């Protein structure tokens, strides 16, 4: 493929949010700062982020640990339902409860989300134009990370469901010309101390916590 280079797409969910989602908790700010420190040696060309306060604040704290990397706000990096499955696409045992859960989201997130999800694929995935490798960070939300990972793995469209991501954890996808996308890292929390890991997950996901599961948070 001529005129294309490797793209490394770094995906991070925002830090832990306050209950009203107007910003980050103290722990969420620490998570963002630590992720910024981890990324200091990466030759990032941009820090993209969604329009909501919890993503924007996370991106700002990360960028504050980097050397002059610009921040770029993008609606495509926002919080929305990327794909609404039909009942016959879903596993029989979970179809009814999944559709009931999705129906509780605001209509604009359900009806407008798929177009934004397609825009995210167009903007952030695939080999980069030009001759130089490109490294980009997208600070976003749980659902979009699941959607982009699902796409990288050529999984069915509905399979963004169940791919949960921790606050300020790191996922990396590599897009090389003429090759399938490669999932390099997924949900890596190595930069976070134990007390800042596993936030944002449904209850019961941490291997050292026993609790009943709850619906995924965004």
Q: Which two tokens stand for residue 43?
A: 């030759």
CA 90 to chain centre: 22
CA 194 to chain centre: 21
Cβ-based neighbours of 113, under 8 Å, separated by 6 or more: 80, 81, 82, 83, 84
Three-class secondary structure of residue 65 per DSSP: coil
Q: pLDDT tens for the chain, 218 residues: list them.
A: 457 999 999 999 999 999 999 999 999 999 999 999 999 999 999 999 999 999 999 999 999 999 999 999 999 999 999 999 999 999 999 999 999 999 999 999 999 999 999 999 999 999 999 999 999 999 999 999 999 999 999 999 999 999 999 999 999 999 999 999 999 999 999 999 999 999 999 777 777 654 444 445 56
């Amino acid at each position: 493929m001529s005129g294309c280079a490797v793209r490394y797409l770094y995906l991070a969910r925002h830090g832990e949010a306050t209950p009203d989602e107007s910003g980050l908790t103290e722990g969420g700010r620490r998570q963002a700062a630590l992720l910024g420190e981890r990324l200091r040696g990466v030759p990032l060309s941009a820090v993209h982020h969604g329009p909501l306060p919890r993503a924007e604040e996370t991106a700002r704290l990360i960028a504050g640990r980097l050397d002059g990397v610009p921040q770029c706000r993008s609606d495509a990096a926002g919080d929305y339902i990327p794909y609404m499955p039909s009942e016959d696409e879903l596993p029989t045992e979970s179809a009814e409860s999944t559709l009931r859960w999705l129906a509780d989201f605001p209509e604009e997130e359900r009806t407008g989300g798929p177009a934004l999800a397609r825009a995210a694929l167009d903007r952030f995935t695939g080999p980069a134009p030009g001759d130089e490798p490109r490294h980009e960070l997208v600070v976003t939300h749980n659902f979009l990370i699941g959607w982009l990972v699902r796409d990288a793995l050529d999984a069915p469209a509905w399979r963004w469901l169940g791919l949960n991501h921790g606050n300020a954890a790191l996922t990396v996808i590599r897009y090389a010309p003429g090759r399938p996308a490669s999932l390099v890292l997924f949900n890596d929390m190595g930069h976070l101390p134990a007390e800042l890991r596993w936030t944002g997950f449904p209850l019961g996901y941490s291997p050292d916590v026993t609790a009943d599961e709850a619906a995924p948070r965004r």
